Structure 1
Amino acid sequence: MGLEIIRGRSEGTQVKILVQCLQSMEIEGTLYVGYPIISSSDDTFFVEALLISKENGLIVFDFPNTNEGLNKIKDNQDSMYFMLEAFFKKHEALRDGRDLAFRPCVISFFPSRENTPEQEPNYFFANPDSISEVIYCCEELDDSYFKALAASIQRVTTIKPRKKRDNVKKTDSKGAKLKRIEKEIANLDQWQKKAAIEVVEGVQRIRGLAGSGKTVVLALKAAYLHTQHPDWIIVITYHTRSLKQQLEDLIERFTFEHAGDKPNWEKLLVLPSWGSKSDPGVYSIICEKLQIAPVNFAQAKAQYGMEKAFEGICDEVLTYLGSSNSKNELFDAVLIDEAQDLPSSFFKLIYETTKYPKRIVFAYDELQSINTISSLSVKDLFGEDEDGNPLVSIQNVENEPQRDIILPVCYRNTHWSLTIAHALGFGVYREGSLVQMFDELHLWNDIGYSVEQGSLEWGNNIVLRRRNDSYPDFFERELNPGDAVLVPDTFSDEISQYEWVSKQIQKNIQEEELDPDDILVVFPSAIHAQKQFQKFSKSMQRRDLDTHLAGVSTGRDIFSIRSSVTCAHIYRAKGNESPMVYILNAGWCSIGYELIKLRNILFTAITRSRAWVRICGVGEEMDILQREISNVIDNNYTLNFRLPTLTELKEIRTIHRERTDEEKDRIKSGEKHLKELSALLDEGLLSPEQSLELKRLLAKLEHLS
């Protein structure tokens, strides 16, 4: 692997010289530049460079002024050492009795030999000529402490589970397996480290699968920026309201790790993208600052339609800004989660209201878009200049913080459930054409698939499998594919489905040692969710099981409640996760005239699961999904299909696209007439011999099939 470099704050000249020196050496480890921040009760210490490696242990570099006396340099080393010792001693996993389990090393680095003092016991001084010798005077690090040390530096030790799970008594129950999974020390992988710590002077894009850590990464970055720049106005925004609870909790914990204090919520704002006068969001705050009246959802829907409502009102504000001669830069940095669900006009609005150099970070997953699948072009999102050139660039440059980062490892979903989710989401094994496809085929590699047969070229046959390095090994150690994804036989009616699920939930809690708030029940249809929940809750009540419908039985921003099973429609469930997920009435997503949207809903529902998922449904619609899932299992959890040609891809997107309100009305009217026509045929009042129009319709249907 060699030396991995993570760049936080910008590098000074001496730091750049050190980086060049270390790059020329054969070091296996990670060099953090401008990171971390270590706080004590008296002071905050910004580390300019820190190296962690098994061979050389933990090394912090100091960069003295050349006119500083030796005593001052040694005092600085002492202060740094004691701050490091005090910080790491807070972590139980890094202690050996009363002492720190390893000895940190502090090296003062000078630009040339002439300025470098002579070595003294317990003090290390180095320059470009001597660094390779001095660095190997530092103590190596025992393997047993390396993972915990990395976690403490990355500030992810607070992600460890808050639940003790004292109710778990069995060794092989679901609760026991979950307890072991949750005890795994969380370390950021090489991609997450860059995404969380590296800050660019401009726009940064983070792409990743569901469960790849995008939300955690954004929370870490928000806490890091807030600690570095407590006077900045920093916004972290999102589409799903129930994310607020999770984001605020993560940011508070990470900020405490950095600064030893809670965040200043007047400077660090966690806001939904829309908002209103009574419940602020990014859009409503911008309107307030510009002294224009914000538009609520009902008004926006009436003017622009449901799907274009937010886009329309953001365009209105952009038009106002375009006519204004004054600068309206409100924010120092903006971080956007769930970017796939937000319109380009919102991004342009953020760009216009963010101070130079436009520090905007956006994270997204194409397949978690409920509406469609598409790559987000920065030109489309942020606009272009007068010459037609993109206003922003996310081109990665060597030896600089990364502007475009992909997170390929999925830590939430098992590789079995993710393969099934992708198969259903893309329609790999459905009868007929695919439902959708990436614009860029190399994304299959980027998100953790390997090509077992064929090649990633339009029109080719291909077989894809999840790579072993795209998921943590504890899934195969603790779980098995048949239980990780369970699809019961199709139910004859809704009530029998609800009875089976409530009985399974009772078993999960009473026999398998899961807690009620470990369980999430997802209703794919937002429109029918409340009515379906009322029926389902009766089945739960018959078994004395508490349950709630998120956002209805609770406050708008509350998702889970301790000792209660969470139920949610897909728009509330999105952005959240749970160890056990039940998807009810899943067949609703199997077929329809907006199939991209329906299959993305199904994909999103499946990927809420951190361990187990049950996909349930009724009737012929569920039979369709049953067959597709069986094909995934029969193909040994691979995706075996033919990639469309570009012409076919265009046709697929046209067929399965989202419809306008007018088109939906016409389709509903057509379906009504078809039912009437079917009734006439059944009653013998009409036959093809009697109607030329009917003959033409039957011929057209035969051609399409």
Structure 2
Amino acid sequence: MSVTFIPTIGRRENDAVANNLVRAIRSGEIFGQAEKIVLYAGWPQVKDYDGRTHSSDLTVVGDAYGIKLVKISLSSDKADVRRDAISILQAAATTESLMGKSLQLKKKRKLIFDVIPIIYAPNIDPEQYDNEEVEFASSEGELYRLLKEQSGKLDGSQVAEVQAIIEGAKALGQIVDAEEDQEVHPVARAYRDLEAVIYNFDATQRSVALTAIQGPQRIRGLAGTGKTVILAMKAALAHIENPNAKILITYYTRSLRDIIERLITRFHRHFAEVDPNWDNVHVRHGWGRQNLPGVYRDTCIREGVSPKSYNEVSNVSDPFGTVCRDLVDRGVVAPYYDVILVDEGQDFPDGFYQMCFYLAKGERDRKQIIWAYDELQNVFDVKVREPEQLFGKDTDGHPRISLTRSLPGGTDTNDFVLQRSYRNQRDVLILAHAVGFGIYGEIVQMLENAKHWEDVGYDVVSGTFTSGSENVVERPLVNSPSVLETPADTPLIRGQAANSFDEEVEAAVAEVRSFIEKGIHPHQILVVSLDDRTARSYFTKIADRLLAFRIPCNNIIVDKYSEPPFRIDGRVTLSTVYRAKGNEAAVVIVVGADAASLKTRTGRNKLFVAFTRTKGWLRVFGMATKTFSQLSGEINAAVASSPRLRFTMPNMSQLNTIQRGLEEKHARLVEAKRRMERLKNELNLSDEDMASLVEDE
């Protein structure tokens, strides 16, 4: 039997009855060995018209069992049980309504399976129960019988559809622009079909989003693995769980606010059918400024401290970390947020994390701090910082945050690694890695071992990954499942050298016009300048030339002090690589690529970030210099070798290693916990039994 277990945000961790039922289902005690079951604890959660939240303590989805929602009512009072029965009936009714929106799950206008509410009340006499709309069980045996009642056979795609609806993936589908099939250019149709795949939000991503752990969590993955979407969903679900809780989701790139707020709104509407209360859900830039709220600035104002601006500390090596540490050292940071979610975590300094530690409510190992980062995307530094460094040491000399120490018993992990990149085409991602590391040129940084390549979604084909060894890795389609069926006359990747600034501008403008003529909307096109010194010149010239063709632009660097939306409908986005981080577009046109040094980490990281902004097509332009000629050679080599990367392992002591970040000790401890849980279940041992075994040793 295959059981997928998702302990969601609504899971009651200390409920022994629910935990025993979960163990029984996961052990194969209830369902047959051939069955495929998805088990949710504390989900779904829905709201009624009066704003009250209703949830299921356990929900079972099976290919032959329909959907069974179980409310556990341990009261011996008839009124309490009746109230719980009405609550689970409401949860079932809303779930059935959501399912009814999918034609794939209906036949003759009716669902092809049943959504059945069950009340499990072992402390009440069955004779006292009088709600005929909700199935009643007063014993485990009766509950098991109800769970095993069959209700229509679902095929694999239908089960996936049920999961996508329950887990909220359908909220993302609304982002895709609706298009009519008639007279749609093949390029536009290819992109529309691609978006349908990207926004499917796979089961692993949804599981990470739904999984709730009473304590810190880390989420890691490459560009396009859904980290921002997952954090937005977690924020929405936490708000539904407790509308009065203070929730913070913070980010580094100022242009991210708009997309985060839109994602939270869509998820919240999907489950609660109303907009979130932004008084309790704060989407904040990390620093903030005079006309812009930010985590640091808001904290200073609450505590009566005058916030410092960048100009006041620009002469120090770590300006943002300095102001955050100063606030922490003053001892004035008081707990304020019930949940803190940090996007783009790789860009924040240690001092910011330490400020967040004190802003989070709760005991040390129960603080709800969830941070996501991409260790290959930081354009400032590539060293992976472990939680012990990020959060520093507590007053007792121990780390403030330790993933190993805070991992609850019975929980598989609180350190999630996302391997599937849905945003980027496989060839583009492989190209970005090749150029980012310097694999076909001068290697300036490298993953430390074969296991790290596997962490980021590659299969190791050959090699020992020791200094001087010849190594081959390959990216399987399963980890880059988004495939763009681009027409032959519109290649996925193309680079072009220009002999002058004006010629390069004209080439970029021609590409924009070409894609718009093929049905790509202006707001689906992003122009990124890698030449920081002349970015304004590029964008002024490009904007003027496009406006001559009645194509307006959204130049987000016009006002460096504002927080403009990254995407404005009907306008081509013009951005530097720093503002582009965390965002995406159907087409990315890179200008000034010759300004990115191929001898430095910073230069190659900027290329990596720029390339990985595209969900579809990539165009790379630069002046005909020696640097651009070398870059063109590397691009051609990577495209020719895709889906494989071939390289000679450098001497790791002579260059920057991107560390794996999964401490071997931590990995061993997590594996030990998994084995202990398995042993406990197999031998029916309690936590006390296991503890006594350790003590005896």
Cα distance per residue 1:529-565 (max 9 Å; x no partner): 1122122234324433322311427952221222211
- Look up the match of 2:66: 57
- Look up the match of 2:618: 613
User: Which structure has the bigger radius of gyration?
Assistant: 1
CA apart distance, 1:173: 1.5
- Look up the match of 1:561: 568
CA apart distance, 1:415: 0.8
CA apart distance, 1:77: 6.1
Distance 1:127 1:630, change over 3 A: farther
Distance 1:185 1:499, change over 3 A: closer
Distance 1:549 1:374, change over 3 A: same
Q: Does 1:236 align with 2:244?
A: no
CA apart distance, 1:632: 1.3
CA apart distance, 1:66: 5.8
Q: Does 1:460 align with 2:473?
A: no
- Look up the match of 1:7: 7
- SS of residue paired to 1:59: strand
- Look up the match of 1:365: 374
- SS of residue paired to 1:489: strand
Preserved contact between residue 70 and residue 120 of structure 2 (Cα < 8 Å): yes
Preserved contact between residue 200 and residue 402 of structure 1 (Cα < 8 Å): no
Cα distance in 2 for residues equivalent to 1:241 and 1:508: 27
Cα distance in 1 for residues equivalent to 2:91 and 2:565: 42
Distance 1:286 1:48, change over 3 A: same
Distance 1:417 1:633, change over 3 A: same
CA apart distance, 1:231: 1.4
Distance 1:171 1:563, change over 3 A: closer
Cα distance in 2 for residues equivalent to 1:319 and 1:637: 50
Q: Which of residues 37, 40, 48 in structure 2 aligns to 1:40?
A: 48
- SS of residue paired to 1:617: strand
- Look up the match of 1:304: 316
Q: Which of residues 505, 526, 537 in structure 1 aligns to 2:532?
A: 526
How do residues 166-177 of structure 1 correspond to structure 2 at under 5 angstroms? 166=179, 169-170=182-183, 173-177=186-190
How do residues 243-258 of structure 1 correspond to structure 2 at under 5 angstroms? 243-258=256-271
- SS of residue paired to 2:95: helix
Amino acid at match of 2:18: V
How do residues 269-284 of structure 1 correspond to structure 2 at under 5 angstroms? 269-284=282-297
Q: Does 1:155 align with 2:162?
A: no
Cα distance in 2 for residues equivalent to 1:377 and 1:183: 36
CA apart distance, 1:258: 2.4
- Look up the match of 2:686: none
Q: Does 1:629 align with 2:612?
A: no
Q: Which of residues 273, 276, 293 in structure 2 aligns to 1:260?
A: 273
- SS of residue paired to 2:565: coil
Cα distance per residue 1:228-282 (max 9 Å; x no partner): 1111111100001110000111111111222222111111100000012431100
Cα distance in 2 for residues equivalent to 1:267 and 1:571: 29
Cα distance in 1 for residues equivalent to 2:321 and 2:146: 59
Q: Does 1:546 align with 2:546?
A: no
- SS of residue paired to 2:615: strand
Amino acid at match of 1:317: L
- Look up the match of 2:93: 82
Same amino acid, percent of matched pairs: 28
Preserved contact between residue 66 and residue 115 of structure 1 (Cα < 8 Å): no
Give the superposed CA RMSD: 3.0
Cα distance per residue 1:380-412 (max 9 Å; x no partner): 101123564322221356632631101110010
Amino acid at match of 1:494: F
CA apart distance, 1:89: 3.2
Structure 2 unaligned blocks of 5 or more: 660-697
Q: Does 1:597 align with 2:610?
A: no
Deviates more, 1:337-346 or 1:277-286: 277-286
Cα distance in 1 for residues equivalent to 2:527 and 2:128: 66
Distance 1:127 1:526, change over 3 A: farther
CA apart distance, 1:527: 3.5
Distance 1:121 1:599, change over 3 A: closer
How do residues 325-336 of structure 1 correspond to structure 2 at under 5 angstroms? 328-336=334-342
Cα distance in 1 for residues equivalent to 2:592 and 2:209: 38
TM-score normalised over the length of structure 2: 0.85
Cα distance in 2 for residues equivalent to 1:7 and 1:568: 40
Distance 1:2 1:649, change over 3 A: farther
Cα distance in 2 for residues equivalent to 1:219 and 1:481: 37
Count of aligned residue pairs for this structure pair: 639
- Look up the match of 2:411: 400
Preserved contact between residue 5 and residue 30 of structure 1 (Cα < 8 Å): yes
Cα distance in 2 for residues equivalent to 1:114 and 1:505: 72
How do residues 497-516 of structure 1 correspond to structure 2 at under 5 angstroms? 497-510=504-517, 512-516=518-522
Preserved contact between residue 107 and residue 123 of structure 1 (Cα < 8 Å): yes
Preserved contact between residue 191 and residue 405 of structure 1 (Cα < 8 Å): no
CA apart distance, 1:147: 3.0
Distance 1:218 1:597, change over 3 A: same
Distance 1:532 1:375, change over 3 A: same
Amino acid at match of 1:613: L
Cα distance in 2 for residues equivalent to 1:523 and 1:330: 39
Cα distance in 2 for residues equivalent to 1:651 and 1:598: 16
- Look up the match of 2:691: none
Q: Does 1:315 align with 2:330?
A: no
- Look up the match of 1:198: 211
- Look up the match of 1:391: 400
Q: Does 1:227 align with 2:227?
A: no
Structure 1 unaligned blocks of 5 or more: 654-705
Amino acid at match of 1:631: A
- SS of residue paired to 1:531: helix
Deviates more, 1:194-203 or 1:113-122: 113-122
Q: Does 1:382 align with 2:423?
A: no
TM-score normalised over the length of structure 1: 0.84
- SS of residue paired to 1:196: helix
Cα distance in 1 for residues equivalent to 2:98 and 2:641: 51
